[in-house]
Structure 1
């Protein structure tokens, strides 16, 4: 464990004006509070806060952040209090320690709704003081470095959370070195065999080719010297996880993966960056599509660099990053560069991003989300995104995540432009809306009055902003339809328990379920956010609860002898809730028909074969197939939407057959598994309410008699 005087010396190296007494005092206080505590490894617990402080000191951070690292577990794991911390170290540090404690208690890998809310709290904490997340990232990095001492199950949970949350968050903040290490440490736990295979192949490659990094570094230096360019050149093999990810993404074996080494050229000035680029491209052939200029178009977290890939020694692809020393410092520290010190003063790096402005731009749109799952999706999309830069017809730059489409571009300009989009031109040519945009392309959006977002657009766009805007528009457009559908579903649900639906009953149910109004309740009911059963149960728990446990399919019918088996007749496909009768077949059990089935006419003279039956009164499984005869408009996305509507009603499509195809309409037979008559009506009502459904009937095939 690093002693207090050694930690102070480490900090003094970059900040001679550091408050040594404050650091020593925090060290002594933290050690006293954690006295007697040990880690899973058996080591003194306080070595962990000290290690976190050392990680942050390596990033040349300010005294308050270092002290917070030393004390970050005191509020949670010791007898220390906020008041005591404030009295000893001041309000700023007490607030920072409290913020880290609150982050530690967030379950970021829990179930979706809670996870989304906790993500919201995470971003709120970041918006107050970004140093809180810097300490938390340092804490997670040290925990991952020492994860082997945890139980195997906890290792996997922590590694998955790190891979999904903390590594991309570090990357989004510009701390690429930390992202890569967190990913690789997680990879070691989640896929040890995969990582070992990469390491073995690296060793074999080095044995066959020698030190490739040193050779290519020398080649680059020689080329720069020929052009009288002064710069530092560094090379390294990429992390095992980075290589594994490239292999998976490109579906290539290790032997075919060429860009497994990365090189950096650190220059004296921005002009030298472009001079170096010219020299390298004159000497080696540039690989098409592998050039990015983040100097002229920097990332939102302040990252600036030129990226290029060339065919270097022996035809091997060599990935090179070119930037100035100041750009490199931001590239290493990301947003944390704002707090970096050198020679006792805070560094005034012109490329360092103001954390307040950065977190504000990152969280601005998150606050508009009403839906937790949408918020979570938006956060993850923002954290994982790489960027492409496109141009408006006037030459203005629009930043979008990799994989973005013209629709994403339209919504990035303005929600109104996105909502009314009917087409797009890329570099002057008309393209489909699902086209993936590339760096440097010029995009023009074609709009039309009266155009509204389509449900299929959700699958086309990739940005959280676009998805959120489309869903909001669809919700507003569909609300009237959902209210109407909800009214019908409520009527069926109330009649099922012998009650009549009324405005007062619905208003009361809305209050009991915590829903704003009667209209909101009907809209939620029609959009499958809640079920009619839940509404009925809220008002009449005794009546709704009579169903008890779900009835097994083999015991769904009452009135059979103990040794008699039954099957539903294929002609009429009766479901629970309908009146039924059984027809006995010698050696074949009983066929159950709906009482109005035309097939029963055949047995009018054989009454001895008739068996009086009824359905069990409990809740049935959704395993009773019914066939719909449905005619729909022949338009893009209609069939998919119908299938989605059925799925939203918790029904399963077991078969689909086209009967007739016309230029404007399709007729098809859909076999759907439902629970009972109420469930059947709910599914049919949901489908009938769609504007592109011309006709829907329950199909009975008399040719399929027993």
Structure 2
């Protein structure tokens, strides 16, 4: 039967003049109900219209049109009459004189329970985490545990509100859109209701970012002719092969929604064309065996992309979703995404818990999505008994709703949410920027963990700090949050600036000492005049510029010393300082940040004899004295800077070793193991030469000093496959 079958029209519908069009539309959508059940719908409309008499929506329409529209959404999903009646009455207890007892008396206790359960949701404001909102959410979950239809009514209610959001004020539209994207769409996804989830997301996106939505929607609809032709060609090839295999199937191309495109652009940092440069198809067949048969067919048409096959039939998703996913090499250079599922799986994928609705969970067997949803809610109800507060319970629920986030606890019980793959250091910066800047390690569930350790939901994290600790550039390699990344970069800039000021002061003072005076003896007025003449806002900017090599300390010193060391006739003093003072080197401790760097041409390490070259824009670059480039640097003696290793130098320094080995299978692994056994980390490896007998490898490794390098070389030389090893 279909909605237009005369046998399905309610008997009273002949009195069309007395029944509004929106009620007749509801009855057509609920064609699957018996005449008695449709009569109950009419009775619910009469009761609801009377209760809401005089109330209007912001659009000016009678308020009763909204709950009837909610019932229509549920009717299109095939929900039972009790759910539809409760949907029509879902605002009565909250906003009208009608009481719960009145609803129970006229429509039964089940309907009253559903309406009461939905009513508890009306006071929720998910955008904040206040205890009252969390308590309301907890009560709603308890109502859901008794009857899952509570949340189905609320989702339909939210969907209709989103469809008619234009009548709201801008601030209200934004708040409701944020609620929808943060809570309602994820709940719909968790319940497997992908049709409702997709529409909620798209409507939320349109309300939150109308211009972005319009641009993306327009570009999706205006596909180039070449792409349409390519899509048709691929579809024809797949359909032809499936037909030859005599597989009863439906093959449709999948159109991406604006929200889906926008989300992928943000998450994957890809352009619109990169996201859209994918052809998507769905194959719907009759049986599970046909699914795997169809998989073989599509793989015979186009070769599959390695590592991109997922079997969600054998291992369904948490919300009951089942399909085979594969990605194929397309004939036009673009990948082809194909989903293969049975008709029942397709119904469940779109409607989730609402597919083939079992009127009372527990008494009749529902589909896999219903069973998984019931298990999920039962687990939530069980967990809420052990939580200390409703707020904690709400956060536990969010762990399930947002699998791409991890929820973590501080020692005091505070809850922080971070993106998946976040590390201890991300947590430290989430607590406070100062905590992150001085973090050294952590206790994760009371066990020591390094800053780069990845975190999972439910862990308790305590950050260990030290006043002397400071960010390093390596930290940027293992943080996942933008807050941590931004804070680290800001701290590094500040530390680099502080180091630059300190080094610039040292270099300028050494230059002044070489002219028979010192920085302390230069009059402040002369310094201020120099700063003004050269447009420096403050002294620190000048000193940092000197350290970076943008100004030579000797030139600045000459100008400053003109008056500082002037004699009675205006002649500046040229008294030479003691050699020990003039040549006092900069001591390198290994903690330098940005201003002192190590040349890649010779890669100096502690215990090497070194020299410093003042390079414009780079600061002091340290070279080994036997570096081939030193000869060129001798041509600019004014840029030479005396440097030496501090006695307490520490840290890891990059160095390269050249290894000649027998060219046999497994040799590379043996050498790598020997290097690791000597306590060194391998940064990269490359082949310099290779033939049938000998291979020459270059390893870039990290060592603490020359002694450590010697240990690494000795360990590698012990291998019988090694012919020669030396520092590169």
Q: How high is the TM-score relative to the length of structure 2?
A: 0.53
Q: Which residue is equivalent to 1:228?
A: 246
Does structure 1 residue 460 correspond to structure 2 residue 454? Answer: yes
Structure 1 contact 206–212 (Cα < 8 Å) conserved = no
d(CA) in 2 for partners of 1:60, 1:37 = 29
Bigger Rg, structure 1 or 2: 2
d(CA) in 2 for partners of 1:265, 1:381 = 33
Among candidates 2, 26, 32, match of residue 7 of structure 1? 26
Q: Which residue is equivalent to 1:44?
A: 62
Q: C-alpha displacement at 1:9, in angstroms?
A: 3.4
Q: Which residue is equivalent to 1:552?
A: none
d(CA) in 2 for partners of 1:374, 1:67 = 34
Q: Which runs of 5+ in 2 are unaligned?
A: 1-19, 406-417, 425-441, 465-524, 526-590, 592-645, 653-728
Over the residues paired in the alignment, what is the CA RMSD in angstroms?
3.7
Which is further off, 360-369 or 51-60? 360-369
Q: Which residue is equivalent to 2:206?
A: 188
d(CA) in 2 for partners of 1:123, 1:259 = 41
Matches within 5 A, 1:253-652: 253-258=271-276, 261-337=279-355, 339=357, 349=367, 352-353=370-371, 355-370=373-388, 374-385=392-403, 452-454=446-448, 460-463=454-457, 466-467=458-459, 470=460
d(CA) in 2 for partners of 1:381, 1:457 = 23
Structure 1 contact 339–347 (Cα < 8 Å) conserved = no
d(CA) in 2 for partners of 1:85, 1:243 = 45
Q: C-alpha displacement at 1:316, in angstroms?
A: 2.3
Structure 2 contact 319–372 (Cα < 8 Å) conserved = no
Instruction: Give the 3 Å change call, closer, same or farther, for CA 456–370 of structure 1 in structure 2.
Output: farther
d(CA) in 1 for partners of 2:220, 2:401 = 30
Matches within 5 A, 1:230-249: 230-249=248-267
Q: Which residue is equivalent to 2:662?
A: none
d(CA) in 2 for partners of 1:382, 1:291 = 25
Paired residue secondary structure (2:30): helix
Q: C-alpha displacement at 1:93, in angstroms?
A: 0.4
- Give the total of aligned pairs: 422
Residues 474-494 of structure 1: CA distance to partner in whole angstroms, max 9, x if unpaired?
A: 79xx9xxxxxxxxxxxxxxxx
Paired residue secondary structure (1:275): helix
d(CA) in 1 for partners of 2:222, 2:117 = 47
Q: C-alpha displacement at 1:156, in angstroms?
A: 0.4
Structure 1 contact 338–347 (Cα < 8 Å) conserved = no
Paired residue secondary structure (1:309): strand
Q: C-alpha displacement at 1:28, in angstroms?
A: 1.1
Structure 2 contact 162–203 (Cα < 8 Å) conserved = yes
Structure 1 contact 115–376 (Cα < 8 Å) conserved = no
Structure 2 contact 90–119 (Cα < 8 Å) conserved = yes
Q: C-alpha displacement at 1:350, in angstroms?
A: 6.3
Q: C-alpha displacement at 1:130, in angstroms?
A: 1.2
d(CA) in 2 for partners of 1:43, 1:126 = 31
d(CA) in 1 for partners of 2:370, 2:233 = 34
d(CA) in 2 for partners of 1:95, 1:220 = 50
d(CA) in 2 for partners of 1:272, 1:18 = 41
Matches within 5 A, 1:109-258: 109-207=127-225, 209-210=227-228, 214-258=232-276
Q: Which runs of 5+ in 1 are unaligned?
A: 388-400, 408-433, 435-449, 479-586, 588-633, 635-657, 665-706
Among candidates 42, 54, 57, match of residue 24 of structure 1? 42
Which of the pair has the greater relative contact order for Cα pairs under 8 Å at 6+ separation?
1
d(CA) in 2 for partners of 1:191, 1:348 = 38
Q: C-alpha displacement at 1:278, in angstroms?
A: 1.0
Q: C-alpha displacement at 1:112, in angstroms?
A: 4.8
Structure 1 contact 258–316 (Cα < 8 Å) conserved = no
Among candidates 70, 73, 82, match of residue 64 of structure 1? 82
Among candidates 57, 77, 98, match of residue 95 of structure 2? 77
Paired residue secondary structure (2:447): coil
Q: Which residue is equivalent to 2:642?
A: none
Instruction: Give the 3 Å change call, closer, same or farther, for CA 67–241 of structure 1 in structure 2.
Output: same
Residues 203-248 of structure 1: CA distance to partner in whole angstroms, max 9, x if unpaired?
A: 4424553366555433321121122211111223111010011111
Instruction: Give the 3 Å change call, closer, same or farther, for CA 451–235 of structure 1 in structure 2.
Output: closer
Q: C-alpha displacement at 1:171, in angstroms?
A: 0.5
Q: C-alpha displacement at 1:17, in angstroms?
A: 7.0
